[in-house]
Amino acid sequence: PFQFGWPIFRADAILGMLAGFFASMCESVGDYYACARLVEVRPPSERMVNVGIGMEGIGCLLAGIWGTGNGTTSYSENVGVLGVTRVGSRHVVQCGAILMVMMGILGKFGGVFATIPGPVVGGLWCAMFGMIAAVGLSSLQHVDLDSPRNLFVIGFALFMGLTLPVEIQAHPIKFEGAPTWSSILNVLLSTGMTVGLLCGAVLDNIIPGTDRER
């Protein structure tokens, strides 16, 4: 623990990390609901979501203490694996965790997986991310898609979530004399899920609509 020294707290670093954590939380909430749909169980309750986010926070705290250099959060690719394999048993996940620990400890063991050809890995990614996108779109079956209001909210949120991060990555925001705020905005606006969530949430609350439309 603390192999790189005791932690130093700076306002700019804290704000920057909070922006990253907010983007990660938005993605994690989506992962929770996607997992529930794939394994055909009831959607997670508010308490379940809170516990999940809290455990991710504890994991990030421990990662910082041990100096791993990265946080702990849900992984969308694992959601895709659930959709492809149709296996959602906790025991399988636990065995996978043990396997990953072994790969980290035994270099030769991990080298076997490193020999997997790139096209094979790319094909798996296409299948997994395609499944993630399909699960997300299937959630719209509970929405009134005959309403122009809802179509606008969905279309605008999807479009901004796909295009704005690309623009931000190509042309980052730069505020003279305020690099901290520039960093925060760049982190938030370069994450497609965060942009889509913010756009959808804001529009759904400010655009008038009936109870059925909402």
Residue range 15-59, pLDDT digits in tens: 777 777 877 887 788 888 888 887 888 888 889 999 999 998 898
Measured between alpha carbons, how far is 67 from 12 in angstroms, rounded to an integer? Answer: 20
**Range 175-198 burial, b when 16+ CB lie within 10 A, else e:** eeeeebebbbbbbbbbbbbbbbbb
Position 173 scores a pLDDT of 86
pLDDT digits (tens, 9 = 90+) for 48-63: 999 999 998 898 888 8
- Are 173 and 166 in contact by the 8 Å Cβ rule? The answer is no
Question: Percentage of the chain with pLDDT > 90?
Answer: 9
pLDDT digits (tens, 9 = 90+) for 95-138: 888 888 887 787 777 777 778 888 888 887 887 777 777 777 77
Burial of 34 (0-12, 13-18, 19+ CB in 10 A): buried
Measured between alpha carbons, how far is 148 from 137 in angstroms, rounded to an integer? Answer: 18
- Are 60 and 24 in contact by the 8 Å Cβ rule? The answer is no
